[in-house]
Structure 1
Amino acid sequence: MDNLKKMLTVAAIVALTSQIYIKIFVSDFNISVAIILFPILLTFFKNLNPSQTGILSALFVYGLRIFVFGLRHGEYAPAIDSYFPELFFYMGYGVFYHILNENSSPFKMKRFFINLVLCDFFSNLMEMYVRINWEMLEPKFEIVGVLFLIALVRTFMVCVFILALKYYRMLILNQDHEERYRKLLWIISQLKTEMYWMQKNMDNIENVMSNAYSLFEKINSGKDEDRWAQMSVDIAKDVHEIKKEYGLIFRGVEGIIENKLKDSGMDFKDIIKILNDSMIMEAAIKGRGISIEFKCGNSFYTEKHYQLMSIFRNLIVNAMEAIDGDIKGKIVFLHLCEENLHVFKVSDNGCGIDENEKPLIFTPGFSTKIDYNTGQINRGLGLSLVKDIVEKQFEGIIRLNPERKTGTEFIIEIEKEKLEVC
């Protein structure tokens, strides 16, 4: 449904801009501005099918041409035949674009330029042949040369616009990143202050423990009975001070998070780009030869980017740790849009989870990750944190895929209205 709306929008824009044109060679052969916007819009809406969009645009342009002709001349019949060949131009352009520019291949401007020139040139040739039957394919080198020049000029304008848009978006993104970096530095400086008070409290806790044990020994041995009451009061007073200072620390950290993390939202595709870069670095630091693949559906704007980043990072790091160093690891992140839901899937080809451990994986403190060199065990808070964010902050669902035979796959479902900002 979303793609249909976008196709209708593209077709309407192309039809409207097709009214800006010049006539050359033969009657009703129009060179319009529309074909400059058409590939730009296809580049912007990558999920659209170019062939279908080209056919729909052709019908819109054809219909609008007939309508405008009728308004000007009071009749419609002559326009039906006159503008019919133009259908072949837009349909041909969409089909050629679909064939030459595959979504799966990486974008390269040089190849894109050549492909657009070919699309424009051969689509114009198709229309011209339909209009004049090319006099039994007799060569018209003058016409061919002009059509090729028009294709070059229009493609050059398309590529200049796309490059300008690309660099503008990079500039905006860099400015946004700089602002976030400044905020992050401020947060770190404030957290360091709170860490000082936490360290001070650690010393106080050590003193309380020492005093409590000293009191225990005196009571056990029956010594200094006259000091027991005073020592008990001192311990209670110290505990009260520790509690009071931890309350101040908690309010301080809470204030930092609430006040300084209230910044503008992000596009989902930018979140994934940052996540991709950071996870590649994480895999390199861990010394793992793990490939990470991101497959994302339609992007959306959200103000919950910190929460999403925390969810996805925890799941991907868990997947990394589940992959044995002896195998070629692969992690796949998949995003789908289903009706009113955003569905996120994180899967790996690791060792999987034992059946008897599956009911416990979201329990705080539960972990199967042990460093046998140091004897240290993982805190087991990652999946518990993920579940907490998904269910309490997004009112969503997180579950294991029970049908997966190898590795592990987590599935998260969140309503669109909980994530998207209009």
Structure 2
Amino acid sequence: MVFNRKHIENLILVTVLTTFSGQIYLSPTGGTFRLSMAVAVLTVALIHFRKLPVMLVCGTVAVTIPLFRSVVDYFSVLDADFGDIFRSYLPVVSFYISYGFLFLLLSIREKLSHPLSFILSLWLCDSFSNILEFSLRQLISPANIVSDVLIQIILMGLARSVLTYFLYNTTLYYIERYDRSYQENRYREMIMFISSLKSELFFLQKSIVDIENTMKDSYDLYRHLESGPQKEQVLSIAKNIHEIKKDYYRVASGLEKVLSAEEDRSSLSSREIFDLIRENYQKLSTNRQLHIHFEFHCRTPFVTAEYYPLISVLNNLIINAVEAIQQYGRIVVEGRLEGSIYRFSVTDNGQGIRPEDLELLFIPGYSTKYDTVTGRMSTGIGLCHAQEIVENHFGGNIHAESDPELGRTTFCVMIPFDRLQEVFIP
């Protein structure tokens, strides 16, 4: 086996955990012979870190545990001789070497799917190794309570084996739970990221159309101009616009390929969409130290394949609502079917919008928001993006209603339901 840094780190971790857990123990003879929790921790670690050689781990632990116990006793007892203390703990080495050998011989790692066989095999490893250690101690310093100690060793071995089985399964449960939570967070982040890219892609595609129209206008102007320097200049402008269009097209095509490769799921339900957005903005408000209460209500559930553009629209509306709230506030997102139209609404109790500003909201670059720290104005393209997607992709419409006196603003998105739904959930 070739060792790398990760293997060394795991070996150190197992050694440290096992060594320290060895300080939780029962001493049936009242001396240095101990029945500790180190065995349970070591067994769980050997099962979990399957790439670590069993005998290497057990050999390392066989050295560190008696050494650590000797150091602890040396500093705990006045006028103690370290050599004598260390020699009294040396039989521990026999326990861990024997335990590792039997662990391999009985193939403990392969018996996890058979609880009874697993526990009995561990019991044998534990009891035999402890009896071996106790026998060596008897040769060094005989005790008169042999039968009582042997009974305790056997019973403690059974108890530790059962405990180890439940400890491993508990550890496995929390590891799987953590992994599942991590994967879900990664999946949510990926969807939010792709929805943002999709939004930019829609705008990029619109720009390609605008560039194409501008190029045609330039060429028409070239054809109508009489010969002269202006005519050649207009032709040069048309050629340059054509080159820009090709660059835009290459970028858009590249983005489409990347996004299509990432779209590994065909559809999401409205509940899943709302859950994704809720968790994302709860984290955002916490990071910004805002106290915002989010409410999501889906009155008419559905499943859609158009979740990326839909998330992009709702994202832009919700971030607009978040920016309208200074410290404390409430944002309500609602979806309901009204005839053949699905209506989404995003309502906040922020600062409100003046009537004269309502008609300007969706103009690119228009914004009333700015960063209080840097003084920079907002880009003013979020709502424009949302309008572009709603109108040109979904064939719907979007408008805003606001009451500045009450500080209440609602953005309404109306989308034909047949453009949105894949499956209706009654």
TM-score w.r.t. the length of structure 1 is: 0.44
Larger Rg: 2
TM-score w.r.t. the length of structure 2 is: 0.43
